[in-house]
């Protein structure tokens, strides 16, 4: 079995971070303006858009969802 890393699934893509979920979040929002990122955070908080925390191989395969999604959203300021 391949080594799994913290990852997020956002807009049907899996972004893998090393060694924290925050790194995966930064990869997911890479290249977006600060204004756009703020709007997406607000949409996630309102339930209009979804971000799912989990773990995956470095290539984004072998995905599995993490426990306590709402706690992770709160920890990373999505709520």
Nearest Cα residue to 18 out of 57, 69, 51, 71: 57
User: What's the pLDDT at 46?
Assistant: 96
Q: Is residue 49 a contact partner of residue 29, using CB atoms and an 8 Å limit?
A: no
CA distances from 79 to 3, 43, 46, 50 (A): 30, 10, 8, 12
pLDDT score, position 60: 87
Domain boundaries, the chain: 5-75
pLDDT for 29 equals 98
User: Which residues of the chain, if any, have pLDDT below 70?
Assistant: 1
Coil, strand or helix at 66: coil
So what's the pLDDT on residue 18? 93
Six-digit token string for 76? 């990373």
């Amino acid at each position: 079995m391949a080594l799994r890393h913290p990852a997020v699934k956002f807009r049907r893509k899996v972004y893998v971070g090393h060694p924290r979920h925050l790194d995966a979040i930064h990869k997911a929002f890479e290249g977006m303006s600060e204004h756009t990122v703020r709007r997406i955070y607000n949409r996630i908080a309102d339930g209009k858009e979804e971000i799912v925390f989990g773990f995956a191989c470095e290539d984004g395969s072998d995905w599995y969802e993490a426990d306590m999604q709402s706690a992770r959203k709160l920890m990373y300021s999505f709520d």
